[in-house]
Amino acid sequence: MKHSISYYPGTKPITVLCLFILYTPLIVISLYSFNSLRSITTWGEFTFDWYIKAFSNPAIQNATMNSLLIAVLASSIATLIALAAAMGMLRGTPLKRQKIVVGVINLPLLLPEIVVAVASLIFFIAIDMTLGLGTILLAHIVFCIPFAYLPISTRLKDIKQSFDEAAYDLYASRWQSFRHVTLPMAMPGIVSGLMLAFVVSLDDFIVANMVAGPGSSTLPMTIYSMLRVGLTPEINAISTILLLVSILFVTASWWCNRSSKSST
């Protein structure tokens, strides 16, 4: 028997409390990024000054470029690898220990980030790699793969193998069948995975902070180091933008997968 969740006493206040604790700080930060005063308790008047200031700060400019560069590269490469993995897992002859292989692909989702960060750092030092953007990129590619893999494999599972058969029947080679049938049909999942991976890379602090070298700060790292000097409305502004970008991408990713569901 199914109950509406409002059947259970206390559902409403608990829900409201959770939402309040989760989102109030974000809303406060976003609102006060438009405050002309430095204070976070008193409202002066509405202004875009802090945004302008943040954008003209060379440290933030530099960090934004680094973050975007890494996010674009890491998410693209991770998506390519994830697509290849998903095709192998779902379209190839099943491997002997398929479940274990899929588990390994998705492992970064379960491992504590700090463990990944420390392990990556030790590894990079052990193989004598210069810490910098390169090491951040490598680490990001690795932990972005499962985020790209999940929507892609979900989508591929929904595409019936009979489409492949239809393509072969109509003289397509395996590559043509992939290129003209599987790939376009899987595209919503691929775009969705790409965007998730992009956001995850853009927002990462722990791993980047650990494996970055001098002068290769990403945006979250820069925000963190600015915080140590003191909270400024500039940070509010830049955080608000990061927040918006993340919400936008996650929503778009969800939307992609949703609209593709209705077409199959």
Partner 1 sequence: MTTAISLKSVTKQFKDFQALNEISFDIQEGEFFTLLGPSGCGKTTLLRLLGGFEQTSTGVIELFDEKIENLPANKRPINTVFQHYSLFPHLTVHENVQFGLKMQGVAKAERVKRADEMLALVQLEKFADRKPNQLSGGQQQRVALARALAPRPKLLLLDEPLSALDLKLRQSMRLELKKIQQQTGITFVFVTHDQEEALTMSDRIAVMSAGHLQQLGTPSEIYEEPVNEFVADFIGETNLLNVNVLSKGEQSAEVTIQASDTEHQNSDVIEVPYFNRLFLGPTAKLSIRPERITISPFTGETPLTATVEQSIYMGTDTQYIVILNTGCELLIRSQNITSSKKTFEQGDKVNISFDLSTARLIRG
* Number of other residues whose CB lies within 10 A of the CB of residue 21: 9
Q: Select 173 or 251, whichever has its Cβ closest to partner 1.
A: 173
Q: Select 49 or 158, whichever has its Cβ closest to partner 1.
A: 158
Q: What is the CA radius of gyration of the chain?
A: 22
**CB burial of residue 184 (10 Å; 0-12, 13-18, 19+):** exposed
Q: How far is the CB of 256 from partner 1 (least distance, A)?
A: 14
Q: Select 145 or 152, whichever has its Cβ closest to partner 1.
A: 152
Q: How far is the CB of 160 from partner 1 (least distance, A)?
A: 7
Per CB under 8 A, residues contacting partner 1 are: 160, 162-163, 165-173, 176, 180-181, 184-185, 263-264
How far, CA to CA in Å, does 33 sit from each of 1, 36, 203?
48, 8, 19
Q: How far is the CB of 79 from partner 1 (least distance, A)?
A: 19
Helix (H, G, I), strand (E, B) or coil at 35: strand
- CA–CA distance, 7 with 107 (Å, rounded to integer): 38
Q: Select 163 or 254, whichever has its Cβ closest to partner 1.
A: 163
Chain center to CA of 199: 3
Nearby residues of 166 by Cβ (< 8 Å), 6 or more positions away: 181
- CA–CA distance, 1 with 61 (Å, rounded to integer): 56
Q: How far is the CB of 179 from partner 1 (least distance, A)?
A: 10
Q: Select 39 or 165, whichever has its Cβ closest to partner 1.
A: 165
Q: How far is the CB of 89 from partner 1 (least distance, A)?
A: 22
How far, CA to CA in Å, does 31 sit from each of 43, 64, 92, 233?
10, 22, 51, 10
Q: How far is the CB of 188 from partner 1 (least distance, A)?
A: 10
CB 135 within 8 A of CB 66: no
Helix (H, G, I), strand (E, B) or coil at 170: coil
Q: Select 7 or 175, whichever has its Cβ closest to partner 1.
A: 175
